């Protein structure tokens, strides 16, 4: 805090000690707010596909039906939005990124997730592997809602939620990092909520 | 752009817009300036060091070392009840920003420009209009805003004044629950038919900014796409509970 600045009469709404499980600067919501830069895309399932592209020797593409045949995992996790809300113990079902990447041969260090509507976000591959990321198609036991990314979104719950790209259509494998949509507009290149990596330079 | 840091702010003035909404003018001598549509993080610190932060749209360009935020009280909120009900001139806050770089309009972005606001979603759009007027921009601009009633509408006097002075600006209101007996304008939620009457045609390649509760923005953005607006020329900002309507 700047030296000695305090707001007269402010007490706040302090919550139970369970908030100790929250990253700094976050508050808990039971709602599920929507943070999207443009209109919600509505791609028909028979036109949908998921691709691993870029610097892979054998790129792969799955149709929606083929994607659903991949072994699903169900994950219960907290999620954290850079706009400061967190939602605890959310349940998701999807395919692990480890499983998808096991089908291609690559030496990529970085990934750009690309989406319907043109959104992109960039991640080091180490943030997507080792049981840390999924392509999720169910939330709390039901298909994703359109405004939350239907039919499928990336889920990388240990990073701020803008990395969990909605309406995801594929992962582009790259040897060099390239900033995505929000990363070019002032948001942090990595986005670790526990380090409060919200904006450039944080 | 350098690292964003917390900067001290002192409340100069608190103006009641509606029973739930106030505009605070905050002296912030170290504020670096911002573009219309951007946000500011506001941090409150209790005497024992407890802190809470929320982000608010900036309602106007910075001027003379001050910033203006327009805040709606959320009954289960933590920061907004303080800013709306408690804060008074001389009170101290901290500011960090500006934040956000996509829901931004500046004259160089051109148009024709369509702004659609629901409830307090008008706030960032008003910042754009203030810049439009101050720059004497020749970008043809239409604002459609939806409020429950005139009593709950924000900035109506200022919007009327801007529209009277700014020949490129048309302001259209719709009141969804209650309108004066002599009101001849719209009395329903924004829908496709209203947009067809009010908005630029898709063939004009308009640039649209839509801000409001999630359900409002979902509906309007989808209607505009169906009217031929390019998806990458519809910029949105959603807030509040899923499904809320003004």
Check residues B242 and A126 and name the one with the higher pLDDT: A126
Cα distance between residue B57 and residue B99, in whole Å? 9
Cα distance between residue A150 and residue B65, in whole Å? 44
Side by side, which strands form the sheet with B92-99?
A: B51-57, B39-45, B92-99, B7-18, B21-27, B66-72
Pick from B50, B87, B103: CB nearest A14: B50
Nearest CA among B58, B40, B48 for reference residue B94 = B40
Count the alpha carbons within 13 Å of A74 in the hemisphere toward its beta carbon: 9
Chain B residue with the nearest C-alpha to that of A7 = B92
Q: For a pLDDT cut of 70, what percent of chain A falls above it?
A: 96
| pLDDT tier for residue B244 given thresholds of 50, 70 and 90 | very low
Q: What Å distances lie between residue B24 and A7, B13, B14, B71, B85, CA to CA?
A: 14, 6, 5, 8, 11
Q: What's the confidence (pLDDT) of residue B234?
A: 98
- Inter-chain residue contact A6 with B92, CB threshold 8 Å: yes
Pick from B3, B92, B221: CB nearest A5: B92
Q: Does B224 touch chain A (CB under 8 A)?
A: yes
Q: For a pLDDT cut of 70, what percent of chain B falls above it?
A: 96
Pick from B44, B78, B100: CB nearest A7: B44
Quick count: other Cβ atoms within 10 Å of Cβ A172? Answer: 20
pLDDT digits (tens, 9 = 90+) for A7-50: 999 988 876 555 568 999 999 998 899 989 999 999 999 999 99
CA torsion, ordered B58, B119, B222, B116, to nearest 10 deg: -60
Cα distance between residue A185 and residue B26, in whole Å? 26
Query: Which positions in chain B touch A140 (Cβ < 8 Å)?
Result: none
pLDDT digits (tens, 9 = 90+) for A58-76: 999 999 999 999 999 999 9
Q: Parallel, antiparallel, or unpaired: how do β-strands B21-27 and A27-28 relate?
A: unpaired
Q: Does B165 touch chain A (CB under 8 A)?
A: no
Chain A residue with the nearest C-alpha to that of B54 = A84
Q: Does B7 touch chain A (CB under 8 A)?
A: yes
Cα distance between residue B139 and residue A41, in whole Å? 28
To the nearest whole Å, the CA of B238 is away from the closest chain A CA by 6
- Matching residue, tokens 């051109």: B110
Query: Which positions in chain A touch B50 (Cβ < 8 Å)?
Result: 11-12, 14
- Inter-chain residue contact B101 with A40, CB threshold 8 Å: no
Helix (H) or strand (E) holding A61: strand A60-63
DSSP assignments along chain B, one per residue: ------EEEEEEEEEEEETTEEEEEEE-TT-----TT-EEEEEEE-TTS-EEEEEEEB-S--BTTEEEEEEEPPTT-SSHHIIIII--TT-EEEEEEEE-SSS---GGG---EEEEEEGGGHHHHHHHHHHHHHTT----EEEEEEESSGGG-SSHHHHHHHHHH-TTEEEEEEESS---TT--SB-S---HHHHHHHSPPGGG--EEEEEEEHHHHHHHHHHHHHTT--GGGEEEEEESSTT---
- Inter-chain residue contact B218 with A40, CB threshold 8 Å: yes
The predicted model scores a pTM of 0.94
The overall average pLDDT reported for chain B is 94
Chain B residue with the nearest C-alpha to that of A85 = B54
Q: Does A195 touch chain B (CB under 8 A)?
A: no
DSSP label of A47: G
Contacts of A75 (CB under 8 A, 6+ apart): A91, A92, A93, A94, A134, A136, A155, A157
pLDDT digits (tens, 9 = 90+) for B141-186: 999 999 999 999 999 999 999 999 999 999 999 999 999 999 999 9
| pLDDT tier for residue A1 given thresholds of 50, 70 and 90 | very low
Q: Does B45 touch chain A (CB under 8 A)?
A: yes
B224 CA to centre of own chain = 19
Cα distance between residue B70 and residue B231, in whole Å? 29
pLDDT digits (tens, 9 = 90+) for B103-149: 999 999 999 999 999 999 999 999 999 999 999 999 999 999 999 99
Cis peptide before B112 (omega within 30 of 0): yes
Q: What's the confidence (pLDDT) of residue A17?
A: 52
- Inter-chain residue contact B240 with A33, CB threshold 8 Å: yes
Q: Does B230 touch chain A (CB under 8 A)?
A: no
Cα distance between residue A75 and residue A92, in whole Å? 5
- Inter-chain residue contact A34 with B238, CB threshold 8 Å: yes
Q: Does A7 touch chain B (CB under 8 A)?
A: yes
- Provide the chain A residues 16-35 that lie in CB contact (below 8 A) with chain B: 25, 27, 31-35
Query: Which positions in chain B touch A40 (Cβ < 8 Å)?
Result: 218, 221-222
- Inter-chain residue contact A118 with B231, CB threshold 8 Å: yes
What number is the average pLDDT over the span A117-129?
Answer: 98
Cα distance between residue B74 and residue A6, in whole Å? 22
């Amino acid at each position: 805090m700047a030296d000695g600045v305090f707001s007269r009469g402010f007490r706040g709404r302090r919550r139970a000690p369970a908030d100790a499980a929250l990253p700094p600067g976050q508050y808990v919501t039971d709602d599920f707010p929507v943070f999207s830069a443009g209109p919600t895309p509505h791609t028909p399932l028979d036109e949908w596909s998921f691709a691993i592209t870029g610097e892979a020797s054998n790129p792969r593409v799955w149709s929606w039906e083929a994607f659903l045949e991949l072994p699903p995992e169900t994950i219960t996790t907290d999620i954290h939005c850079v706009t400061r809300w967190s939602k605890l113990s959310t349940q998701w079902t999807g395919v692990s990124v480890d499983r998808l990447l096991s089908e291609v041969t690559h030496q990529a260090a970085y990934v750009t997730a690309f989406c319907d509507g043109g959104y992109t976000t960039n991640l080091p591959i180490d943030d997507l592997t080792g049981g840390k990321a999924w392509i999720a198609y169910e939330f709390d036991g039901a298909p994703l809602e359109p405004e939350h990314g239907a039919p499928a979104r990336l889920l990388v719950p240990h990073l701020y939620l803008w990395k969990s790209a909605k309406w995801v259509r594929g992962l582009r494998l790259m040897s060099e990092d390239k900033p995505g949509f929000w990363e070019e507009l002032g948001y942090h290149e990595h986005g670790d909520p526990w380090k409060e990596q919200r904006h450039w330079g944080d | 752009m350098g690292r964003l840091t917390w900067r001290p702010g002192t409340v100069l003035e608190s103006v009641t817009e509606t029973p739930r909404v106030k505009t605070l003018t905050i002296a912030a001598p170290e504020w670096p300036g911002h573009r219309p549509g951007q946000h500011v993080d506001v941090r409150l610190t209790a005497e024992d060091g407890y802190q809470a932060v929320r982000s608010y749209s900036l309602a106007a360009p910075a001027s003379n070392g001050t910033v203006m935020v327009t805040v709606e009280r959320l009954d289960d909120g933590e920061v907004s009840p303080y800013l709306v009900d408690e804060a008074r001139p001389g009170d101290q806050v901290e500011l960090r920003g500006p934040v956000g770089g996509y829901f931004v309009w500046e004259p160089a972005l051109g148009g024709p420009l369509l702004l659609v606001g629901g409830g307090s979603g008008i706030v960032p759009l008003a910042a754009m209009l203030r810049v439009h007027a101050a720059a004497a921009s020749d970008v043809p601009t239409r604002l459609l805003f939806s409020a429950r009633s005139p009593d709950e509408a924000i900035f109506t006097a200022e919007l009327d004044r801007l529209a009277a002075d700014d020949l490129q600006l048309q302001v259209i209101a719709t009141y969804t629950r209650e309108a004066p007996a002599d009101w001849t304008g719209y009395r329903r939620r924004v829908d496709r038919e209203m947009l067809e009457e009010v908005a630029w045609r898709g063939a004009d390649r308009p640039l649209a900014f839509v801000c409001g509760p999630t359900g409002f923005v979902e509906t309007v953005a989808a209607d505009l796409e169906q009217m031929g607006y390019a998806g990458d020329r519809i910029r949105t900002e959603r807030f509040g509970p899923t499904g809320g309507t003004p």
